[in-house]
Amino acid sequence: MIEVIIALIVLAAAGTFGAAWFTGNGSREKPVLPDPEPIDDVPEVQLPKSVAPTPEWKSDEDSELPDSDQQVEEYEIRSRINGDYHTIEDISEETLELLETLNEALPKLPNATLDLMPVLAKPGAGAKEIAAIIERDQSTAARMLRWVNSSFYGLEGKVNSLQRAVTILGIDTVRSVVLEDAFSRGVKFRGLPGLSPHTVWRHAAATSITAKHLARHVRGVEPDVAATAGLLHDIGILLLLILERQNLKGILEVSRDFREPLIENEFDFLGFNHQVWGECFVRAWHLPEEIAAAIGRHHCPMKEPFDRLAAVVWLANYMVSRIGFACPQDQVSIISDEDIEPLTTVLGIRTPVERYITEGMVREIVSATSCWHTSEFTPTATDAEAMVE
């Protein structure tokens, strides 16, 4: 099954996609669509180096470090859906006050970003409305136009209209561009082996798209809400890179030694974890309460009270780890179908979950993560062949 998943990525890079959808729970009111045809006799492949994050986030002080995403040996970690990880209800008032102090120490996000994120979180946001907000911020507007005019999209004429840029890029990509641009200002990020801001953004963008696709098969979860929650779910890790880098370095080392996810060791180092900090941080954005709550429970969705949106994000988080978009990049999550069934059963999703990774979804992921590649990457058949070992 993993070979088939990786093969889908090859097809994404080769630009050979057709529309592909498959069934969720047959009892659901939504139309039941056929499973995708299996792809047989596909050789093993790996992602090309051009799909690795760029080193531009690293400062001169990091020159002694190995490349923060490419020179760390990959290893598997055991995922848990029943982990008794701390949520905001478990954190002391003193620690919550500390998090508020840390939030105040962060660079202020542009007003356009704060205005735009609630719009992007609601279903049915229009390109005209989104473009009107982006126009208020020259940096974001310039980045949007630069991206849509890059060789990755291969457009014949130059795009000068933000509304057209939003239409071409799509809402999912716009979410990523706006948020990444806002965080990149005034912050000198320093990467760690296997973990850089590019790793966080690529993983977040991939999780966002996967959560959106999964939500279409889950009753009671809006796809656009799931996409926003997926994009923001690891914002706490980005905050740790900014203000708690030394502690994060220690957490990474312990996690690698014991082959555990970061959240297993964060509380011992910090007195809180990245999902709690992420929830605290986004509550000031006036996003829907369900998004903030899902961010704060995305590592323990089965913890009472059960959170359906957090469960969708957990599943998306796990799935993108399996196809090369893990965070940290060297940690690949594993879990058995038997262990995952309590979550999939309550969501109405069938195992194995790899059935929900379609060609169209992988194509969206490749497109939405293109700006964090080492070079502008225009998918061609030659590039696809270069992936084959």
Separation of alpha carbons 3 and 157, rounded Å: 38
Q: Please, what is the end-to-end C-alpha distance for the chain in angstroms? A: 18
Angle at 325 between CA 324 and CA 329, to 5 degrees: 90
pLDDT by residue for the chain (389 residues), tens only, comes to 444 454 444 444 333 333 222 223 333 233 333 333 332 332 232 323 333 333 332 333 333 333 454 456 788 998 888 888 999 999 999 999 999 999 988 888 888 888 888 888 877 778 889 999 988 888 888 888 887 887 677 777 788 889 998 898 888 888 888 888 888 776 777 889 889 888 998 999 999 999 999 999 999 999 989 999 999 999 999 999 999 999 999 999 999 999 999 999 999 999 999 999 999 999 878 788 999 999 999 999 999 989 999 999 999 999 999 888 999 988 889 998 899 999 999 999 998 898 898 888 988 888 888 766 533 333 332 322 222 22
Maximum distance among all alpha carbons in the chain? 58
Return the pLDDT at 42.
Answer: 25
pTM value is 0.77
| SS3 annotation, 96-164 | HHHHHHHHHHCCCCCHHHHHHHHHHHCCCCCHHHHHHHHCCCHHHHHHHHHHHCCCCCCCCCCCCCHHH
Beta bridge partners of 192: 195
Residue 373 lies in a domain: yes
Name the one residue in this structure whose structure tokens are 């957990």.
314
Q: How many domains is the chain partitioned into structurally?
A: 1
Cis peptide before 352 (omega within 30 of 0): yes
Helix axis angle for 223-232 and 111-121, nearest 10°, is 140
Pull the structure tokens for residue 251: 């957490």
Residue 380 lies in a domain: yes
Kindly report whether the peptide bond that precedes residue 305 is cis, defined as omega within 30 degrees of 0. yes
How high is the pLDDT of residue 372? Answer: 63
Q: What is the pLDDT of residue 56?
A: 32
Q: Which domain holds residue 271?
A: 2-107+187-387
Tell me whether residue 219 is in a domain: yes
The residues near 357 (Cβ < 8 Å, ≥ 6 apart) are: 5, 8, 210, 319, 323
Examine residue 158 and state whether it is found in any structural domain, yes or no.
no
Q: What is the CATH number of the domain that holds 344?
A: 1.10.3210
Structure tokens at 290: 């369900």
Residue 174 lies in a domain: no
126 occurs within a structural domain: no
Task: Indicate whether 122 belongs to any domain.
Answer: no
Q: Are 260 and 77 in contact (CB under 8 A)?
A: yes
Smallest Cα–Cα separation from 39: which of 70, 12, 76, 71?
Answer: 12
pLDDT for 154: 73
Task: Decide if 223 is inside a domain.
Answer: yes
Task: Please give the pLDDT value at position 26.
Answer: 32
Contacts of 350 (CB under 8 A, 6+ apart): 23, 24, 25, 344
